[in-house]
Structure 1
Amino acid sequence: MPKQPLQGRVALVTGAGSGIGRGCALALARAGATVAVTDINPRTAQQTHELVQAAGGTSASYPLDVADESAWQTALEAIHRDLGPVTVLVNNAALKASAAGDGGLLETTVEAWDAVVAANLRGAMLGARLVLPDMLAAGNGSISMVTSTAALHSVPGFATAYSSAKAGMIGLTRSIAVTYGPQGVRCNAIAPGVIMVDEDPSQAAFHQSANDLLHRVGRPSDIADTVVFLAGDGEYINGQVITVDGGLIARMPSLSNK
């Protein structure tokens, strides 16, 4: 039988209807957690729930707009009733770096800034704030903030709001870690590099050219495995930014031959 380090734990994953979030839900269920699958799209959340069930895991799906505090409260009431208190949280839901109106600062609209920050930073804050009481009561908890390598380096004229919100998640991570670590709650940020979340051959070519150090693209499972490790065996890791990018930001392109 495979090792199940999260047996008996309830894990909540935001943005779990596709991509990295779906990968995290499946991996957490394989590790023994009961998974609350949440997404702003109830249909894709249900699809992930069905995939977890088909793989032999335990889960339930819930609609959730992470930027809406009342939506969080409604979802958590249902999760507490159906599954129990949450001691693993994966703050993954986000508007993408390609969101309309998010470019260089002079090109970024205030509307785009507000929408991106609401989904990517306010949503993570609300999730942590509202789940922390469960973790403090249990005396343990793991929060994973899915940030981005865009928080660590920049592309000229690209995704100012996204990069700023993702950098804000790192500050939030460290604040939670040092404040609540003594009470058993750990909080870490995971910074994915280029992750391919579909099978479009044209996208595969783009991703390969963007991240060719390991001769493959990043996969949702690369992030999901890190989430599971942090929630289980990584019990002495707190307040860290873990970059999962195949070495992307380690390279200095201007001094490299490729």
Structure 2
Amino acid sequence: MRDSSLEGRRALVTGAGAGIGRACAKALAAQGATVVSTDINLETAQETCDQIRALGGTAEAFALDVADNAAWESVLASVRSRHGGVTVLVNNAALKASVAGDGALLDTPVNVWDRVIAANLRGPMLGARHVLPDMVAAGNGSIVMMSSTAALHSVAGFATAYSSAKAGMIGLMRTVAATYGTQGVRCNAVAPGVIMVGDDTESQEAFRKSSGGLVQRPGQPEDIAETVAFVSSDAGSYINGQVLVVDGGLTAHMPGLSQGSNA
């Protein structure tokens, strides 16, 4: 049975200040990785770092605007000097459609499109571009693109730029996997479904009903984090160029046509 340990790996997680990013950083640290916790908000990145250290892990926090090429250069120069080259990258940071005002194509200003694409597609491209030389030199590495089920199906009138960027991440992932897989670098995408933070019983019950009863609960950040830790380890070494959908089965059926559905 292959080892799922990440001892000796240096894992950089973007958007690690909360939610899925924080859960990924903690899961990677629990498997032995030295974690570089980055977020556009240094305070939340540091909170994640502190939580990892309290559990006995090793972590360091940095502020990082993923759309800023110079910021990537600065952070990675510091990481290399203190810890060595990054061998696991989790491109998780994202600008949410609801925050950006990203709606239907005709209702979404071009500057909103540009902001969403910058954070959600340019950022992951820059991350991969900056860590690949160290991974190629080491002869191994894992890059995880945090895509979304929004890349696989759409919601009419909502998240045009976000869905496009998340689909673009899948294309980027496949080209990286195909180009650098022969040099020991794997690249995969994880596509989360509905993920909720906290215990909102009313929202969870509404979600269960809307799924036609197939999915009994929304996902938790830890559901995604465990998948990321697995695919980043040697236990996932035969997985490359793939989209791992982690949605409880939501995209496997059509709720409105399912038996017993209330949708």
Measured after TM superposition, the shift of residue 214 of structure 1 is: 3.5
> Which runs of structure 2 are paired with 1:19-30 in the superposition (5 Å)?
19-30=19-30
2:16 corresponding residue in structure 1: 16
CA distance in 1, matches of 2:145, 2:199: 26
* 2:222 is the alignment partner of 1:221: yes
State the 4+ residue runs in structure 1 displaced beyond 6 angstroms: none
Deviations 1:104-132 (A, max 9, x none): 11111111100000000000000000000
> Which runs of structure 2 are paired with 1:47-58 in the superposition (5 Å)?
47-58=47-58
2:245 corresponding residue in structure 1: 243
Measured after TM superposition, the shift of residue 213 of structure 1 is: 2.4
1:34 corresponding residue in structure 2: 34
The CA RMSD measured in Å over matched residues stands at 1.4
User: Matched residue of 1:129: which SS?
Assistant: helix
CA distance in 2, matches of 1:34, 1:85: 11
CA distance in 1, matches of 2:198, 2:109: 29
Could you list the runs of 5+ residues in structure 1 that have no partner in the other structure? none
Measured after TM superposition, the shift of residue 200 of structure 1 is: 4.4
Measured after TM superposition, the shift of residue 98 of structure 1 is: 1.4
TM-score normalised by L of structure 1: 0.95
Tell me which moved more, 8-17 or 245-254: 245-254
Is the 2:210–2:255 Cα contact (8 Å) retained in structure 1? no
> Which runs of structure 2 are paired with 1:38-77 in the superposition (5 Å)?
38-77=38-77
1:161 corresponding residue in structure 2: 161
Tell me which moved more, 212-221 or 48-57: 212-221
> Which runs of structure 2 are paired with 1:58-137 in the superposition (5 Å)?
58-137=58-137
Is the 2:16–2:39 Cα contact (8 Å) retained in structure 1? yes
Measured after TM superposition, the shift of residue 31 of structure 1 is: 0.5
CA distance in 2, matches of 1:18, 1:204: 20
User: Matched residue of 1:62: which SS?
Assistant: strand
Q: Go from structure 1 to structure 2 and tell me whether the alpha carbon gap of 1:200 and 1:254 turns closer, same or farther (over 3 Å shift).
A: closer
Q: Which letter maps to 2:236?
A: G
Could you list the runs of 5+ residues in structure 2 that have no partner in the other structure? none
CA distance in 2, matches of 1:39, 1:254: 39
CA distance in 1, matches of 2:206, 2:44: 26
Q: Which letter maps to 1:234?
A: G
Measured after TM superposition, the shift of residue 206 of structure 1 is: 4.6
CA distance in 2, matches of 1:100, 1:14: 19
CA distance in 1, matches of 2:202, 2:84: 43
Tell me which moved more, 81-90 or 211-220: 211-220
Measured after TM superposition, the shift of residue 198 of structure 1 is: 3.4
Is the 1:101–1:107 Cα contact (8 Å) retained in structure 2? no
User: Matched residue of 2:144: which SS?
Assistant: strand
User: Matched residue of 2:236: which SS?
Assistant: coil
Is the 1:14–1:39 Cα contact (8 Å) retained in structure 2? yes
Q: Which letter maps to 2:178?
A: V
Q: Go from structure 1 to structure 2 and tell me whether the alpha carbon gap of 1:196 and 1:137 turns closer, same or farther (over 3 Å shift).
A: same
Measured after TM superposition, the shift of residue 100 of structure 1 is: 3.3
CA distance in 1, matches of 2:63, 2:194: 27
Aligned length: 256
